[in-house]
Structure 1
Amino acid sequence: MRVAAVTCVKNEGPFLIEWIAWNRLIGVTDFLIYSNDCTDGTDALLDRLAAHGVVRHLPNPAEGRNYQMEALKAAAQDPVVQAADWVWIADVDEFLNIHAGDGTIPALIAACGDPQAISVTFQFFANGGVERFEDHPVIAQFTRTHNPDIWCGETAIEVKTLVRRDFPLQYYGAHRPFLRKGLPAEARPRWTDGSGRPVQHRFLVAANSRRIRKFPARGARDLATLNHYALRSLESYLVKNDRGDVNREHRAFDDAYWRERNDGGWEETSILRHLPALEREMAALKALPGVSALHDEAVARHRARAAELLGRPEYRDLRDRLRAAPAICAAEAALIDELGLEEA
């Protein structure tokens, strides 16, 4: 089975090796990675990995600023995607945590009954009080998260989707594929959530206000969860804020984004069962000629950028606001109270 992972990156150099190693571990066989405007050596590291046959690295083809959607349009025609049995579109801070079988994508597909698409629900991981960037696996550093059924005042939570080759595709979205126009009802695909249940009809046909990426999270995680480490350390978050969104123009990673994702009321450590294997796979990638040095250079540039930003009054002010921010956003606290649930 060939599984192609597709992603877009900008200044993710310190985190690439872990993400690629993780996906190789769970069954991804091919990588198509687009980069743009990198200043931390991300592109050089990807070029070296490409020279070793680990990834296919291309400059983002976007002519405007809609980097992700233009890249996904191009990806649909790329040989890596064309040759794949399954396509997995995800960001470098997103880790598919499979609970079924041996924790691999083939095991998840089998447990879901071999559908044509599987949409897996996000679990947002909090900062957990980690201030300094450390060059250690992200999945080991951050284990605090929100109530799995509620996020930021919503019971419908974002998803990302594994897509089979024969899906009746109009186009790939960042969170889900969209059905071919004019598709008759009898030709609609078999599409499940992360528990192997059919997705809701209105989600399948993109007929509601949450059509792009959301459906109720309750009961949707039995076989898989998508761990999203959107914040990481405080230092890394400041660098992310400075970088801006790789996918969309005019989107800031500010204190509001932080507050929405920094609920650490629950602990979730199931992904750590794979940590020893992940570290071995990371070591194998770093052992490829030239890779370790380029990784270390990206780490050094990341640290230097964090230090530079903290030399500016506006970034020290942002750091202080983030430190003082409540651990749960107001909308989520209100919903928890309304439903009579506990925060932890």
Structure 2
Amino acid sequence: MNTKPQRAAPGVTAVTCVKNEGPFILEWLAHNRVLGVRDVLVYSNDCDDGTDVLLDALATQGWLTHLPNPAQGRNYQMEALRDAARQPVVARADWVWVADVDEFLNVHAGDHTIGALIEACGDPQAISVPFQFFANGGVVAFEDRPVTAQFDRCHDPDIWCGSLSIEVKTLVRGDFPLQYFGAHRPYFRNGTAGPSAWTDASGRPVPAAFRDAAEKGQLRSIPARGARRFATLNHYPLRSVESFLVKIARGDVNRAGRVFDADYWRDRNDGAWADRSILRYRDATRAAVAALRADPAVARAHAACVAAHRAQIAGLLSDPERAAFARHLQALPTISEAEAALAAELGFA
């Protein structure tokens, strides 16, 4: 007889910022609820595809809080995260998870929930999970079906874009000595000893230079090799060619002035590696999406977002220059020059 006491599921709040992400929100929310996320705080700004209407419909269910982005300038994400730290739904959380709608946490440990990841890492005050960028994989047309089922090719987990380090997103425990949340990691208060423990997704201490923000070039990246034993953050920044055109037209949801171009595409369109492990969540996520869409207002709002996305695609492709750019993206090599050079130098296959 197993007499081991059952660990209570942690109360996790996810925080994100969105602009015109309507077609993709339900899958992301459902996936996070399957992971064990209890509450979600969403900030939106300048939506014209119905994303805000969809979020308002979801907010009536009680577990999602939708707020207008409070940014007075153009640094949308950082101003929202400063506001988030003061929100009750964040203040009462056991853990806070800051991630974008194209980022899906993929837990390899235990029952594949956030609770299992925390336990596997030894219950530290922060866990930084490395990205894995998923390539376009030759998918041209937008489809209203799960992103995680459409794209299963990514870069070698130990090397990306000419670097042996990889960006992270960080799960933060409620008692972390927080100064403020960053998009990729928290920063602790000056004059404190810092967190008692901060690990990567293999339960290993993160490098001191990263933890202490001691070097500007190491603020959001850690060494990739061996860092994802218990979890990976699947990042789908490209999706289909058609949706990437919409992303270019929208601009960066998190900050003004960032350009999504052919270089951005090529850096992230490395399909050298196959990873289908996130499909372990497929059935549970599908059921969670169906439960969300059982609300007629949510179903209508989602359909309106999909229709708006398709209408924008049609409008963009009617422009000969944009149509030519779409064809150019499809013809680009699927590995960046910097990564190819480093792989050759290190003898990677």
Look up the match of 2:218: 211
Alpha-carbon distance between aligned partners in 1 of 2:68 and 2:222, rounded to the nearest angstrom = 33
Q: SS state of the match for residue 210, structure 1?
A: helix
Look up the match of 1:225: 232
Look up the match of 2:306: 299
Aligned pairs for 1:110-129 (under 5 A) are 110-129=119-138
Alpha-carbon distance between aligned partners in 2 of 1:98 and 1:337, rounded to the nearest angstrom = 31
Residues 260-292 of structure 1: per-residue CA shift (max 9 Å, x gap): 000001100001011011101100000023111
Alpha-carbon distance between aligned partners in 2 of 1:210 and 1:105, rounded to the nearest angstrom = 29
**Contact persistence 1:26–1:104 (CA under 8 A):** yes
Alpha-carbon distance between aligned partners in 2 of 1:194 and 1:321, rounded to the nearest angstrom = 37
Look up the match of 1:74: 83
Cα drift, residue 208 of structure 1? 1.9
Residues 151-188 of structure 1: per-residue CA shift (max 9 Å, x gap): 1001100000000011011110000001111223xx54
2:35 to 26, 30, 40: 26
Q: SS state of the match for residue 29, structure 1?
A: strand
Alpha-carbon distance between aligned partners in 1 of 2:106 and 2:265, rounded to the nearest angstrom = 23
**Contact persistence 1:52–1:288 (CA under 8 A):** no
Cα drift, residue 189 of structure 1? 2.7
Q: TM-score scaled to structure 2, two decimals?
A: 0.96
Look up the match of 1:275: 282
Alpha-carbon distance between aligned partners in 2 of 1:151 and 1:252, rounded to the nearest angstrom = 20
Alpha-carbon distance between aligned partners in 1 of 2:188 and 2:221, rounded to the nearest angstrom = 16
Cα drift, residue 3 of structure 1? 0.4
Alpha-carbon distance between aligned partners in 1 of 2:23 and 2:176, rounded to the nearest angstrom = 34
Alpha-carbon distance between aligned partners in 2 of 1:230 and 1:332, rounded to the nearest angstrom = 18
Measured on the aligned residues, the alpha-carbon RMSD in Å equals: 0.8
Counterpart amino acid of residue 336 in structure 2? C
Alpha-carbon distance between aligned partners in 1 of 2:110 and 2:217, rounded to the nearest angstrom = 31
Aligned pairs for 1:1-344 (under 5 A) are 1-184=10-193, 187-342=194-349
Q: TM-score scaled to structure 1, two decimals?
A: 0.98
Unaligned runs of 5+ in 2: 1-9
**Contact persistence 1:90–1:160 (CA under 8 A):** yes
Q: SS state of the match for residue 290, structure 1?
A: helix
Alpha-carbon distance between aligned partners in 1 of 2:270 and 2:195, rounded to the nearest angstrom = 37
Alpha-carbon distance between aligned partners in 2 of 1:20 and 1:103, rounded to the nearest angstrom = 16
Alpha-carbon distance between aligned partners in 2 of 1:113 and 1:37, rounded to the nearest angstrom = 41
Superposition misfits of 4+ residues, deviation over 3 angstroms: none
Alpha-carbon distance between aligned partners in 1 of 2:91 and 2:228, rounded to the nearest angstrom = 29
Cα drift, residue 313 of structure 1? 2.1
The alignment covers a number of residue pairs equal to: 340
Cα drift, residue 6 of structure 1? 0.2
Unaligned runs of 5+ in 1: none
Cα drift, residue 324 of structure 1? 1.2
Q: SS state of the match for residue 162, structure 2?
A: coil
Cα drift, residue 323 of structure 1? 1.1
Q: SS state of the match for residue 239, structure 2?
A: coil
Q: SS state of the match for residue 129, structure 1?
A: coil
